[in-house]
A and B are shown apart, each in its own frame.
Chain A
């Protein structure tokens, strides 16, 4: 099983600041099968970034993904009020598909 470890667990920032979220895999993950998701309170998750660096349809360009192998990063260049949420990384290279434990971005 590929374990995904996200850090930090919680990120306390203000609107306009830059957020850097990390996801580390226990073994190498194909970028094609790696994604970042955003979940706002009371809502279903939504895909933000796929293939490690490709923004999903409709996702603002302040969101960017990078990384490969075992280390991946999601960057939010300038936080907007609506960006305060929980972010998850996920891999679907091998079964069981796994998620990181989440990073909460809070004010």
Chain B
């Protein structure tokens, strides 16, 4: 069955960078939009970014635009989120999701903490 596994989270200082990865299995990865969603501690869900199957259509939340970059490697079934200029407010659990009109498959999440 479809499965998503995130990695790459950790503790980083403000202004630092981090690259999240998401390994997909159990479905034809290139057929689907993919998305990142985050959840700050004790808060609700916030959509971060999406990318289409070919990597040609991309969109970002205003809160991360210009700092985060989403990309994918369809040959390796991998989704990425490059996060630069990190701020304290980027502290959250980051979920990789498959976007099939709705977000129908979710990973278990990876935690990013931005603190000095």
Binding site for B on A (CB under 8 A): 32-35, 37, 39, 44-47, 50-51, 56, 88, 90, 92, 95-102
**A44-B108, A47-B104 given as contacts; is B99 within 8 A of A92 (CB)?**
yes
3 closest Cβ contacts across the A-B interface?
A35-B102, A97-B47, A95-B59
Name the residue in A34, A90, A95, A98 with the highest tally of chain B Cβ atoms < 10 Å from its Cβ. Answer: A95
Q: How far is the CA of A79 from the CA of B13 in the complex (A)?
A: 44
Q: List 8 other contacts, CB 8 Å, given A39-B45, A92-B99.
A: A44-B107, A44-B108, A46-B106, A51-B101, A96-B61, A96-B62, A97-B50, A98-B47
Q: How far is the CA of A99 from the CA of B108 in the complex (A)?
A: 19
**A44-B107, A44-B109 given as contacts; is B45 within 8 A of A34 (CB)?**
no
Interface status of B35 (Cβ within 8 A of chain A): yes
B45, A97: Cβ atoms closer than 8 Å: no
**A44-B95, A45-B95 given as contacts; is B44 within 8 A of A88 (CB)?**
yes
Q: How far is the CA of A44 from the CA of B108 in the complex (A)?
A: 5
Within 8 A of A (CB), among B86-104: 95, 99, 101-104
Q: How far is the CA of A96 from the CA of B99 in the complex (A)?
A: 14
CB B110 to nearest CB in A, in angstroms, measures: 11
**A44-B109, A99-B44 given as contacts; is B61 within 8 A of A90 (CB)?**
no
Please indicate the chain A residues that have their CB under 8 angstroms from the CB of B109 in the complex.
44
Q: How far is the CA of A51 from the CA of B78 in the complex (A)?
A: 27
A99, B46: Cβ atoms closer than 8 Å: yes
Name the residue in A88, A99, A102 with the highest tally of chain B Cβ atoms < 10 Å from its Cβ. Answer: A99
Q: How far is the CA of A25 from the CA of B113 in the complex (A)?
A: 32
B59, A96: Cβ atoms closer than 8 Å: yes
Residue of A nearest to B1 (CB): A57
Residue of B nearest to A94 (CB): B59
Q: How far is the CA of A34 from the CA of B107 in the complex (A)?
A: 20
CB B1 to nearest CB in A, in angstroms, measures: 9
**A44-B107, A44-B108, A45-B95 given as contacts; is B44 within 8 A of A33 (CB)?**
no
